[in-house]
Structure 1
Amino acid sequence: MAKVTAAELQSHFEHYQELAQREPVSVTDNGKESLVLLSADEYRRLKAIDTRQAFYVHSLPGDILADLESGYQGEPTPHLDHLMK
């Protein structure tokens, strides 16, 4: 992953915009990573594999509440392990 300062990104945005089409670009601010610039296609790919849902505790569906009470942690997903590298 390429790394660039926020100031450098502003100065040469077109270059890093082009680079982000091929690989993520890490943007640092005061020496700390603050964001990652990536292509719209890569963003959509990542969003498509994120199937999480958020609920308030008081609005949990009964089946999810029963699973939590029983200690169920979901089905194993070894076919997704490659995404964690």
Structure 2
Amino acid sequence: MLSFTANQAKTQFGDLMTKAQREPVSITRNGRPAVVVVSAADYEVIEQLKLEALRTRLAHSIAQMEAGQVQDGEAVFDELMKDL
């Protein structure tokens, strides 16, 4: 993954955007990773994967409920929120 410092990202923003279209770009602040810039297409894929994972877990939970394997609702949602 390419990496820019925060200052480089500010002064070379156009270059950062061009590079982020091809691969994720890490931006560091004070030598530590602060953010990752990804293309809009990659972001949409990530969001779709998150939605699919949520739907899968929900379907599994519904199947468990229908099979009589009832769980505390708050515990289920706490578990789901860990991944979001």
Taking structure 2 as the reference length, the TM-score comes to 0.63
Q: Does 1:29 align with 2:29?
A: yes
Shift of 1:66: 1.5
Q: How many residues align?
A: 60
Equivalent-residue separation in structure 1 for 2:72 and 2:2 (angstroms) = 41
Partner of 2:2: 2
Equivalent-residue separation in structure 2 for 1:26 and 1:7 (angstroms) = 13
Percent of residue pairs identical: 30
For structure 1, the residue ranges without an aligned partner over 5 or more in a row are 54-60, 70-85
Equivalent-residue separation in structure 2 for 1:46 and 1:68 (angstroms) = 29
Equivalent-residue separation in structure 1 for 2:37 and 2:10 (angstroms) = 12
Superposed counterparts of 1:4-23, under 5 Å: 4-23=4-23
Considering only aligned residues, what root-mean-square deviation do their CA atoms show, in Å? 2.4
Taking structure 1 as the reference length, the TM-score comes to 0.62
**Which structure dedicates a bigger proportion of its chain to helix?**
2
Partner of 2:41: 41
